[in-house]
Amino acid sequence: MNPRFSIKAKSAKPSSPAKPADGKALTHPEIRAVVIGIMLAMFLGALDQTIVATALPSIGRSFNDVSNLSWVVTAYLLTATAVTPLYGKLSDIHGRRGIMLIGILLFIAGSIACALAPNMTALILGRVLQGLGGGGLMSLAQTVLADLVSPRERGRYQGYIGAVFASSSVGGPVLGGVISEHLHWSFIFWINLPLGLAALAMSSRTLRRVPFRPRQHKLDLLGAALMITAAIALLLALNWGGTRFPWLSWQIGALAGASAILWMLFALRLVATPEPFLPLTILNNPVVRCASLSGACCMGVLVGLTIFVPLYFEVVRHLSASQSGLALIPMVGCTVVASTISGRAMVFVDHYKRMPLIGLVLGIAALSALAIWPANLPIWGVIGLLAATGFGLGTVFPISTVAMQNAVLPAQVGTATGSANFFRSLVSAVVVALLGAIVLGGVGGATGVSVETLARTASGADLAQAFRFVFMATGLVLAFGLAFMISMEERPLRGPAAQQASASVGSATPVDPTLPERKR
């Protein structure tokens, strides 16, 4: 057998049992019940991304405004970015259950505000409130899973997590397209009300069994404020450049300069404060840094494509809203399939990094083909290339998350997961703003127009050229993700033995998981 790709026998026993506050070990069925309990909360966040994507052209049509559509997404991503690390620290202080319930309640309140929005500004503000809650759903779910099982055996639960993303990825685009075409776009937010109440009840019951080891943290609210204002200034410059103001105007220069100054102040804050918004001890870990940035690049590409591909289908390929939703399914579905396969494969292989490396090369090649032939390929060819891109992206997400969690001490998993999700949300917001600037700038900087007006006033060649650069830009971002994945050190995954050793030493002197389990 080739030692560089050895197969490991799967243990028939469950992972080293987690212990809740009462000291009683959780059995595998109990762990599975907790995982199923958090699945609905994860489903809220996952469905919101895919169902909103295909409804965006209808929202722009309803408010007669395409130029601000990207802010429907970036407003959510920005607030989710700012609160994601704070959720990790708050859950360390007060427990996963209470903070998860607060996140779900805020998400429900934001969904109601979005559904009742009378104009684009109110909708964007509603998305801000929604992001305050949604920012904690995904990271807390990942942290709860890390509390329960070891990195090596975490892949056995990827099937449950994959089912969440499969259902939301397949159902979301179709549901969003059908609702926006045959009902009203506001129903894509009203649907979160019954789902959110169900998630609230289920999470409240099952999360009582999650282990809780209180840790004290200081919340760096000033650092969070500096980060979000710096990001807003940058995104405004990207969004307004070439549309409201010329790229070389003093307004765009002022926004860019203000963003640079605020980012420098944010960096100084990270160095100066004892417990900064993003912990430097974790960011200095090379595995955490490379895994987080690779995952962030891939998430930025995925979010950017799910937002702008439906617009591409409508204005370039002349599909309806429901047809655009159907055409988006292969891409997001293949993302889920690849994520599930690569996550479960981590249980069996040593060199788990090979899967995302192959996947990223596949994704870059598919996006390059779309950039070369944005309008000449048959529709089935476009869908096939997008599916290949989604498959390549899917191989990265579980590998980067588990590798990052495996490289830190158990007490740092919540903070490290929050930091990784911070970079994913921030890069996604920047990519969405960049792609919005490319699309609007490529068709003459149209502002305040509907989808029909955009398609009518811009020529087919201009629209195809704009999306040519969209695919080029996402391919470039994916190339950065490939570079970070190549740079990531491939460390052996901890299993039950490592957990037991850590428990025998005690919390005061934990085993350093950054040391290899054995010599290669």
Domains of the chain: which residue ranges? 28-208+277-505, 221-276
* Helix, strand and coil percent figures for the chain, each rounded to 5: 75, 0, 25
Nearest CA to 136 out of 110, 158, 113, 162 is that of: 110
CATH for the 28-208+277-505 domain, from 1.10.10.920, 1.20.1250.20, 3.40.50.261, 1.10.645.10: 1.20.1250.20
Phi/psi region, residue 23 (left: phi>0; alpha: psi -120 to 50; beta: rest), is: left
Specify the pLDDT at position 357. 92
Within 149-206, residue ranges assigned H as helices are: 158-182, 187-190, 192-206
Q: How many CB atoms lie within 10 A of CB 509?
A: 8
Alpha carbons 300 and 358: distance in angstroms, whole number: 19
Q: Which amino acid is at 432?
A: V
Mean pLDDT of 87-104: 81
pLDDT greater at residue 56 or residue 253: 253
Alpha carbons 203 and 199: distance in angstroms, whole number: 6
Residue pointed to by tokens 């397209």 = 177
Q: Is the pLDDT of residue 321 over 60?
A: yes
Alpha carbons 402 and 412: distance in angstroms, whole number: 13
pLDDT greater at residue 438 or residue 111: 111
Best mean pLDDT range from 148-152, 207-211, 252-256 = 252-256
Specify the pLDDT at position 460. 57
pLDDT greater at residue 25 or residue 82: 82
Specify the pLDDT at position 506. 36
Alpha carbons 337 and 391: distance in angstroms, whole number: 7
Q: Is the pLDDT of residue 368 over 90?
A: yes
Q: Is the pLDDT of residue 472 over 90?
A: yes
What is the chain's Cα-based Rg? 22
Summarised one tens digit per residue, pLDDT across range 115-156 is 999 888 899 999 989 888 887 777 787 777 777 776 666 656
Alpha carbons 365 and 386: distance in angstroms, whole number: 11
Q: How many CB atoms lie within 10 A of CB 337?
A: 18
Specify the pLDDT at position 462. 67
Alpha carbons 75 and 132: distance in angstroms, whole number: 10
Could you give phi then psi for residue 241, rounded to 5 degrees? Answer: -65, 125
Alpha carbons 478 and 384: distance in angstroms, whole number: 18
Specify the pLDDT at position 443. 56
C-beta separation of 18 from 496 below 8 A: no
Alpha carbons 390 and 265: distance in angstroms, whole number: 37
Alpha carbons 406 and 429: distance in angstroms, whole number: 27
Mean pLDDT of 415-444: 76
The dihedral over CA atoms of 467, 471, 472, 475, expressed in degrees to the nearest 10, equals 170
Under DSSP, the state recorded for 277 is: S
Summarised one tens digit per residue, pLDDT across range 220-239 is 778 878 887 888 888 778 77
Mean pLDDT of 257-284: 84
Alpha carbons 302 and 428: distance in angstroms, whole number: 8
Q: Is the pLDDT of residue 496 over 90?
A: no
Specify the pLDDT at position 3. 41
Specify the pLDDT at position 154. 62
Average pLDDT, the chain: 76
C-beta separation of 346 from 493 below 8 A: yes
Alpha carbons 475 and 218: distance in angstroms, whole number: 39
C-beta separation of 368 from 482 below 8 A: no
Best mean pLDDT range from 12-26, 101-115, 151-165, 190-204 = 101-115
Put simply, whether the predicted model's pTM sits higher than 0.85 gets the answer no
Tell me the three-class secondary structure of 411-456, residue by residue: HHHHHHHHHHHHHHHHHHHHHHHHHHHHHHHHCCCCCCCCHHHHHH
Q: Is the pLDDT of residue 439 over 90?
A: no
Mean pLDDT of 412-429: 77
Specify the pLDDT at position 151. 64
Least confident range from 20-24, 35-39, 343-347, 419-423: namely 20-24
Specify the pLDDT at position 502. 37
Alpha carbons 92 and 509: distance in angstroms, whole number: 19
Through-space distance between the first and last CA atoms of the chain, rounded to whole angstroms: 15
